[in-house]
Amino acid sequence: MHQFRYRDLDELRDDARHIAPDVAFVDDIGALARPLAAGDRRVGNRLVVQPMEGCDGNLDGTPGELTHRRWRRFAAGGAAVLWGEATAVVPEGRANPRQLLLTPDTAPALRALLHDARAARRERLGDDDGFVVGLQLTHSGRWSHLRPFPARRLAALDAVRGADAAPVTDDDLERLEERYVAAAVLARDIGFDFVDIKQCHTYLLNELLGARERPGRYGGDFEGRTRFVRNVFARIRDRIREGLLLATRINVYDGVPYAAGADGIGEPVATSPFDVWGAASDDATVPQLGEPLRLIAELRAAGLAMVSVTMGSPYYNPHLGRPFERPPVDGYLSPEHPLVGVARHVRLTAEVQRAFPDLPVVGAGYSWLRHYALHAGAAHVADARVSLVGLGRGALAYPDFALDALEGGGMQRDKACIGVSYCTALMRAKHNDVGQYAAGCVPRDRLYAELFRQARDSEGWR
């Protein structure tokens, strides 16, 4: 297991030169303080709170007390973009019973959440100029908690979840398009600056992108596999001419499923490269961004104002999306040095940014770098390899990372995420009265340390 044992930035920089030369670092992080434009919005700096879920809503899909707590802390923490977390557009599309839901019934509670966050921003910083807040619209597809809604039949995915569930029909997908549009209208009316049409981490829209063997209107060739998201963008733009930016968090590379080998280290599970979105046709373990770049270009023409680049699935290859120090309780030891995973994020994100130099592109995968994360992010912003730098797990651990970095020249060692996957473990924990534990940073927040102890006992973790 590769552990983070760097005593200073120079040691980390030196290791990166040998292991992951795509990852650069600078001492001065001033590049992150520069504003930029996303559509007609002014974004006050280059820092983003990524949509890392707290699994802490109420059972009816409205925000709970801990949801408000998280959003207030994120808003007051200084990052210019609060990329609001996965929010289902239909009740049956929720990934867990405490996931947020956007319907006419829940809209007033989400309006109160947004108001609360903006008030916290003004109280801490004096105003909320340059503060941009969005909401990620989703359907969890195969990972929906009530029952799976797979986009396709694929043995490697069915072995993880959804083997006995019929794939969602074309008629169901056509009806679902309108629910996305209706949710976008509600988000605009509530006052969100943007909506993210989520296409990542093997949830429904992401799974559709790789569904080459799916028959019908929403599978097969590129036009069919991207039909859903292209239709949603077009229909939202037809309904909403102004007042709402369109964004997407998209997998540019899905990767293949992994499972623990005899030594506990992750090994790839055989699957056809033909079925992997963003992979080379002859080797599914090699990213190739031809189709993802083509889709981004088409969405750009349809009004896309911001894109967040990510990859992998938290369910079967988490080392791709979230390079970690320790695996989740149901996971495997990383098959690569985490710096290699960080470098993959940097390299593929830079490929997107080079293809679309005028599009605000958000980079991810930085949290394993701990308190040096923004020294890397600033280097990549300065080199025009990315526009904005996001932290997900890192923001759960350290919600005021942006203020400390921009006002003090860097993040503090004893507040940063340490990549031990306890937040993910809480997301996996289901054995309580509501069927889901709230997720947060166990090492840095006593509230979640106590929840982790409860979850450990209820789940029987060793």
CB 382 within 8 A of CB 26: yes
First-residue to last-residue Cα distance in the chain? 19
Q: What global pTM score does this model have? A: 0.97
What CA–CA distances, in Å, run from 320 to 22, 46, 156, 460? Answer: 16, 23, 17, 27
Q: Is the pLDDT of residue 274 over 90?
A: no
DSSP letter assigned to residue 27: S
Question: Mean pLDDT over all residues of the chain?
Answer: 96
Average pLDDT, integer, range 245-251: 98
Q: Is the distance from CB of 139 to CB of 106 less than 8 angstroms? A: no
188 with 202: CB under 8 angstroms? Answer: no
* CATH number where 256 lies: 3.20.20.70
Name the nearest CA neighbour of 321 among 292, 289, 364, 283.
364
What is residue 275's predicted lDDT score, i.e. its pLDDT?
A: 82
Residue 3 falls inside a structural domain: no
Residue 420 belongs to some domain of the structure: yes
How far is residue 156's CA from residue 15's CA, in Å, rounded to a whole number? 35
pLDDT above 80: residue 67: yes
Reported as type and span, the H/E element at residue 146 is: none
pLDDT band of 462, cuts 50, 70, 90: confident
Residue 263 falls inside a structural domain:
yes
Confidence of residue 29 (pLDDT cuts 50, 70, 90): very high
| Mean pLDDT computed over 289-298 | 98
Tell me the β-bridge partners of 82: 49, 133
Inside any domain, residue 219: yes
The answer to whether the beta carbons of residues 390 and 69 sit under 8 Å apart is: no
**What is the CB neighbour count within 10 angstroms for residue 242?**
8
Range of the domain at 38: 9-459
pLDDT tens profile 124-155: 999 999 999 999 999 999 999 999 999 999 88
- Local confidence band at 23 (pLDDT 50, 70, 90 cut-offs): very high
Sequence-separated (6 or more) residues with CB below 8 Å from residue 282: 273
Choose among 172, 307, 180: nearest CA to 251.
Answer: 307
Sign, CA torsion 49/51/55/61: positive
Q: Is residue 121 domain-resident?
A: yes
Angle 169-174-179 from CA coordinates, rounded to 5°: 115
d(CA 65, CA 52): 17
Mean pLDDT of 407-433: 96
Residue 1 has pLDDT above 70, yes or no: no
Contact 107, 156 (CB under 8 A): no
pLDDT score of 281 more than 90 = no
Domain count, the chain: 1
pLDDT band for position 198 (50/70/90)?
Answer: very high
Assigned domain for 1 exists: no
Domain assignment present for 454: yes
Q: Which amino acid is at 124?
A: R
- Looking at per-residue pLDDT, the higher value among 32 and 157 belongs to 32
415: CB partners within 8 A, 6+ apart? 371, 397, 398, 400, 401, 404, 444
In a domain, 77, yes or no: yes
